[in-house]
């Protein structure tokens, strides 16, 4: 039902192709990146030294962390705004149709997923710190953290929402309508979502095995979306994952280098730490969500066919 929501609006294939081009490539990657490019150019001229553009870490450390965070999150704001405008103007769609098959967005689902994963993240961080305190340094600076909190609370959910609306929303629906099934959009959006993180500093530091985590996270969020017939759980989980991490702990080799409470000084290791979230934690979370929201008919929701409804059925899609 969630993918079929797209039938309510204009859903020609060219609209989706241009939508991705406008929102992602032109919006976030070009227009949204102009402040970052401008800041890098200004800093380079001022210091008389150009950064190594192939080394993201050298770019991230050019500025104070709070400034860097704004610069790297701003493109997602531009992308999200353009995507939602494109959906409304070109597809004649609504935010609700792009978000959920329910008659209205279920904010309780968003906050439940956010609270559950946020709590788990805090607990795991505290346990990790208690087990290996020498692996962390106290990084807390009240003034800088207060500014970080404001920036992160405003912009991080925008960043994660853009990724969810683009991958699990817009592309999931567009590819689903084109393929007439549910498994292909799940696979494509999950793999592409993972590959979009290949330039992250974590990949260079840990190795390509971390792509298992990124792609696995894409599959987890895609399964959440298809089984729950909406983006709400994925929106809440993704926002909690990035926001709580940005506030709690940072490291010199992560994409988010912030004025967080703790700084991880340990050397990251490729292996079981990458696999446990995908093959242990995520299945447990799916079990919790399935029990709470009484998910059934997994085979149909994940692998079923999508058939175009007739004109009378279209008006009933998503109505509870």
Number of domains composing the chain: 1
Mean local confidence (pLDDT), 250-263: 90
Residue 169 pLDDT: 98
The pLDDT of residue 60 = 73
170 neighbors 261 (Cβ within 8 angstroms): no
Q: Is residue 320 part of a domain?
A: no
Mean pLDDT of 105-115: 98
Between 143 and 204, the higher pLDDT residue? 143
Q: How far apart are CA 224 and CA 235, in angstroms?
A: 10
- For CA atoms 104, 17, 178, 224, give the dihedral sign: negative
Residue 317 placed within a domain: no
Q: How confident is the model at residue 268 (pLDDT cuts 50, 70, 90)?
A: confident
In Å, the largest CA–CA distance within the chain is: 66
In the predicted model, what is the mean pLDDT of residues 272-280? 90
Q: What is the pLDDT of residue 317?
A: 57
Residue 315 included in any domain:
no
Q: Is residue 222 part of a domain?
A: yes
pLDDT for the residue numbered 319: 44
Q: Which domain holds residue 247?
A: 3-310
φ, ψ at 213 (rounded to 5°): -70, -45
Question: Average pLDDT of the chain?
Answer: 92
How far apart CA 311 and CA 315 sit, in angstroms, is 7
Q: Which residue in the block uniquely carries the two structure tokens 């970052």?
A: 36
- Structural domain contains residue 118: yes
Question: How far apart are alpha carbons 234 and 144 in whole angstroms?
Answer: 30
pLDDT at 320: 42
Is 109 contained in some domain?
A: yes
pLDDT of residue 44: 87
Angstrom distance (rounded) from CA 118 to CA 139: 20
Cβ atoms of 284 and 296 within 8 Å: the answer is no
Mean pLDDT of 271-295: 94
Asked if residue 158 is part of any domain, the answer here is yes
**In a domain? residue 319:** no
Angle between helices 282-293 and 107-131 (to 10 degrees): 150
In tens, the pLDDT along 212-236 reads 999 999 999 999 999 999 999 999 9
* Sheet arrangement for strand 136-138: 136-138, 262-264, 249-250
Band the pLDDT of 1: cuts 50, 70, 90.
Answer: confident
Closest among 281, 258, 278, 317 to 68, alpha carbons compared:
258
pLDDT tens, position by position, 12-69: 999 999 999 999 999 999 999 999 999 999 988 888 877 766 666 677 778 999 999 9
| Helix 65-89, helix 34-47: angle, nearest 10 | 150
Given 3-state DSSP classes, what are the helix, strand and coil percentages for the chain, each rounded to the nearest 5? Answer: 70, 5, 25
């Amino acid at each position: 039902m969630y993918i079929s929501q797209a039938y309510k609006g204009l859903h020609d294939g060219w609209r989706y192709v241009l939508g991705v081009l406008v929102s992602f490539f032109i919006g976030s990657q070009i227009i949204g990146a102009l402040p970052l490019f401008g800041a890098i150019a200004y800093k380079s001229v001022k210091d008389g030294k150009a950064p190594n553009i192939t080394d993201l870490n050298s770019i991230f450390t050019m500025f104070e962390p709070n400034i860097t965070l704004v610069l790297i999150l701003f493109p997602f704001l531009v992308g999200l705004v353009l995507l939602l405008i494109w959906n409304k103007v070109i597809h004649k769609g609504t935010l609700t149709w792009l978000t959920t098959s329910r008659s209205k967005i279920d904010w309780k689902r968003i906050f439940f997923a956010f609270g559950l994963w946020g709590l788990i993240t805090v607990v795991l961080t505290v346990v990790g710190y208690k087990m290996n305190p020498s692996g962390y340094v106290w990084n807390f600076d009240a003034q800088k953290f207060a500014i970080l909190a404001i920036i992160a609370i405003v912009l991080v959910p925008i960043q994660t929402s853009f990724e969810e609306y683009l991958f699990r929303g817009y592309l999931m629906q567009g590819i689903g309508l084109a393929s007439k099934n549910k498994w292909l959009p799940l696979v494509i959006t999950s793999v592409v979502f993972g590959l979009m993180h290949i330039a992250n500093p974590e990949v260079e530091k840990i190795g390509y095995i971390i792509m298992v985590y990124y792609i696995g996270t894409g599959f987890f969020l895609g399964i959440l979306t298809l089984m729950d017939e909406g983006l709400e759980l994925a929106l809440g989980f993704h926002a909690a994952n990035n926001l709580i991490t940005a506030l709690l702990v940072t490291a010199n080799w992560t994409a988010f280098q912030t004025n967080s409470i703790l700084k991880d000084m340990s050397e990251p290791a490729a292996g079981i730490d990458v696999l446990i979230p995908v093959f242990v934690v995520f299945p447990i979370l799916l079990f919790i969500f399935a029990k709470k929201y009484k998910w059934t008919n997994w085979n149909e929701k994940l692998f079923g066919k999508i058939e175009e409804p007739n004109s009378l059925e279209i008006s009933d899609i998503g109505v509870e």
